[in-house]
Amino acid sequence: MNTPIPVLTIDGPSGSGKGTVSRAVAQKLGWHFLDSGAIYRSLAIAVLRAGIPVENVDEIVALAENMNLSFTTDDPPEVLLNGQDIAGEIGSETCGNAASRIAAFGPVRQALLEKQRSFRRPPGLVADGRDMGTVVFQDAGYKVFLTASAEVRALRRYKQLKDKGLDVNLINLTREIEERDRRDLERKEAPLVMAKDAVRIDSSDLDIQQVIERVFGVVASPTG
């Protein structure tokens, strides 16, 4: 019998620390890494550039099917959309909000499914997102749901953006994060929910190193 390629899924809301933790764990395990949010964000950039309204599902799906997306193995990676480096734009709140809006459409999610699954290659994959454990890699052997309070998440995001030299307002940021959470949680298609077989880790009072250690604990004792 073929042994499936192992997958560790790390789902959770924005600002929970998923990105940093997933990357670090993938590096330590020597596994591939999928930042599925970056796929939605790249599509959002393509949509905004093409001037397509964010509710025009048919055109967004057509764009998703035709976009040529690649990630380099640098840390952080360069993201190439149709050959152009979009790493500078991908982290903005405008892009994150547009990504969250287009991600609410079932056909858009469907169009991105195979692209995400193609990241599952030996020796293993760490997949970061919202529906990695519930939809994309339902059969994953290791599942984590990483969360933190909305205040802590807004503050972390605030510091990140400030460090990048961006002019941000904590109150507006908190409001935007809550709005994005609501959209991701309440949407009909693949909403942000914890997989039944996931281990919940609340990172509000933990530092990154402590979270990484807990995630390793999950890999040491598989779910399911």
**Site of interaction with ligand DC (CB under 6 A):** 14, 36-37, 40-41, 96, 99-100, 103, 129-131, 180, 184
Nearer to ligand DC, 91 or 197 (CB): 91
Smallest distance from ligand DC to CB 138, Å: 13
Nearer to ligand DC, 31 or 40 (CB): 40
- Give the whole-angstrom CA distance, residue 165 versus residue 77: 20
Smallest distance from ligand DC to CB 15, Å: 8
Nearer to ligand DC, 102 or 218 (CB): 102
Closest CA to 29 of 2, 9, 8: 8
Smallest distance from ligand DC to CB 2, Å: 26
Smallest distance from ligand DC to CB 131, Å: 5
Closest CA to 181 of 167, 169, 193: 193
Smallest distance from ligand DC to CB 186, Å: 12
Closest CA to 200 of 148, 150, 154: 148
Cβ-Cβ contacts under 8 Å for 103 (sequence gap 6 or more): 40, 109, 130, 184, 187
Residue of this chain nearest to ligand DC (CB atom): 37
In which order are the strands placed within the sheet that holds 79-81?
A: 69-71, 79-81, 84-85
Structure tokens at 55: 């509710």
